[in-house]
Amino acid sequence: MRTDVASMHALVSAPVAQTVCSHARREAAVLAGLCVALSAAFVLSLVLGSTHVPIASVIDVLLRSSTVDESSALVIESIRLPRALTAVLAGAALGIAGLQMQTLFRNPLADPFALGISSGASLGVAIVVLGSGMSVATVFGASTGLAGDALLIAAAITGALAVLAVVLAVSARVANPATVLILGLMFGYTASAIVTVLVGISSPERLMELARWGFGSFSGVTWQRLSLFAPVTFVGLGLAAVMTKQLNALLLGENYARSMGVAVRRARVLTMLGASMLGAVVTAFCGPIAFLGIAVPHLCRGLLGTSNHRVLVPAVVLLGGVVALIAQIVSLVPGNAGVLPLNAVTSIIGAPVVVAILLRTRRGAFAA
């Protein structure tokens, strides 16, 4: 067979090499563009806010120059910088979790929300917050110390995994991915309902606080919390990065993936674990943020024209960061009157994307 291969290669390689190059060029251009967009959005989110800080000062702060007045430096260092970093990480995390779920379930509408991960995480958070007697404000507002934060993350991940485990157990019996998705939604509703009941039997001010958390925000994450939030996110993103090969094979479905040598069960468990970790950690710290997870992977596929995860994973990380930063910047629009709920902004971006996907879905594509 080898001699055949060599001679065939001589015949066919020239024209093929050209087209491969043009695809690779497009992918490189998109990734480079996303890097630029991410840097621009990042700086912009540091510049904009209730107090005006000129862009030159922002850059000075970033470069650790001492010429900036102390109050501006304080605003940027202790408020805007962690907020921007949180937005980037959360956007990347939700985008990757969405991508993993979409590939695993071979369903374009799968995301951490649709499968109940976010609701499960909310449930875990609500139980810890309401059960431990901590007020939501102490958890999501002021600093509670690393132990409290770790407990919160653990609760969120446990809640997410609990819902996911039920969905998985049922999906082993039900072959139809659409059914699995609907089941995920149902479990999600159930978890949300339990949260509502828990809140309902607690005091009115806690209701307000939990509602505010439900709006979603990148502002509650301090440097101290970032020291927990960032590593967990990096682990999740790293898991996605090392599993691009498996995810690509899974595009053909689990049976084909198995026939090509994928340890399907392990790949499925690891992917779900990674996705729920990412979805849960974001939910714990920023609230249940809607639509980013579903929209970002689709935007990337559209930009790149490929489902290849080797390109998609970095693109989703970058674009997720960009979209989250933009959403955060847009939420500042009311100016001194306060901020828009982040979830309102992401949904306004996300809903049209979902509509567009539904209208674009052609015959056979992701047939559910």
Q: By the criterion CB under 8 A, which residues form the site for other proteins? A: 1, 3-6, 8-9, 11-13, 16, 19-20, 23, 106, 242, 244-245, 248-249, 251-253, 255-256, 258-263, 301, 305-308, 310, 362, 364-367
C-alpha R_g of the chain: 22
Closest distance to other proteins from the beta carbon of 251 (Å): 5
Is the distance from CB of 122 to CB of 312 less than 8 angstroms? no
Determine the Cα–Cα distance for residues 16 and 49; give it in Å rounded to an integer.
51
For other proteins, give the closer residue by CB, 108 or 216: 108
Using CA atoms in the order 62, 63, 67, 71, what is the torsion angle rounded to 10 degrees?
20
Contact 342, 289 (CB under 8 A): yes
User: Least separation, in Å, of the C-beta of 21 and other proteins?
Assistant: 11
Rounded Cα distance, 243 and 265, in Å: 13
* Backbone torsions φ then ψ of 348, nearest 5 degrees: -65, -35
Token pair in block for residue 138: 């102490």
Nearest approach, Cβ of residue 22 and other proteins (Å): 9
Taking alpha carbons only, the member of 303, 320, 333, 232 closest to residue 41 is: 320
* Identity of the residue numbered 146: L
Residue placing its CB nearer to other proteins in the complex, 161 or 300: 300
What's the angle, vertex CA 175, arms to CA 171 and CA 180, rounded to 5?
45
Task: Give whichever of 29 and 40 is closer to other proteins, judged by the CB atom.
Answer: 29
Amino acid residing at 52: H
CB of 318 to other proteins, least distance (A): 18
CB of 91 to other proteins, least distance (A): 22
Q: Which is nearer to other proteins, 20 or 35 (CB)?
A: 20
Tell me if residue 288 falls in helix, strand or coil. coil
Residue 357: CB minimum distance to other proteins, A:
11
Instruction: Give the number of other Cβ atoms within 10 Å of residue 166's Cβ.
Output: 17
* Residue with Cβ nearer other proteins (5 or 169): 5
In the complex with other proteins, the residue whose CB is nearer, 312 or 324, is 312
